Amino acid sequence: MTGGPPELTDALREILAQVTGRPELRGLGGEVPLFGPGVGLDSLTGTLLLREVHRRFGVDVAAEDLNLDALASLATLAGFISARQLT
């Protein structure tokens, strides 16, 4: 999956920093895994992130992506969203 436009990745990084309450994530690389140690996306912060993505970009990730692979990194999430916004 290719990454989306940089400004989309930036917007997602800002949402992630807000829903996790961790401003230091504003410096997060686009390829860093969101699950697992480091970012530690969990059921609560993941739900908030997906809700905000749905609201802002009109893409319901969970309805299409059974394994939530789109949440692997900010780059994969941006790629997932931009692919659906074009169609």
Partner 1 sequence: MMVKCVIWDLDNTLLSGVYLESPQQPPGADPAMLTVAAQLRDRGIIHAVATRNPSEAAHHAAQVTGLEFAATECGWGRKSDAVRRIVEDLGLAADAVAFVDDDLYERAEVSFAVPEALVLSPEDMADAVGWPEFSPAVVTAEARRRGEMYAERRRRQEEARVFGGSRDAFLVYCGTQVVIGPATAADVPRLHELSVRTHQFNTTGEAVSEAEVMAWIASAEHQVTAVRLADRFGDDGLVGGCAVAFGGLSPGGSGGVVPPRQAPGEDGTATVTLLMMSCRAMGRGVIEALLAWLARSARQAGATTLVVPCLISPRNVPLRLALAASGFRAAEGSSPGEASVLFFRPLSGPLPDLPSWVADTVAAG
Phi and psi dihedrals of 3, rounded to 5? -75, 160
* Residues in contact with partner 1, shown as a per-residue x/- string from 63 to 82 under the rule CB under 8 A: xxxxxx--x-----------
CB of 10 or CB of 32, closer to partner 1 = 32
Of 7, 36, 86, 87, the residue at the interface with partner 1 (CB under 8 A) is: 36
- DSSP letter for each residue of 61-82: HHHH-TT-GGGG-HHHHHHHHH
Span near partner 1 by CB under 8 A; candidates 1-9, 10-18, 34-42, 77-85: 34-42
Non-local CB neighbours of 53 within 8 Å, separated by 6+ positions: 12, 15, 59, 61, 77, 81
Binding site for partner 1 (CB under 8 A): 20-22, 35-36, 40-47, 50, 62-68, 71
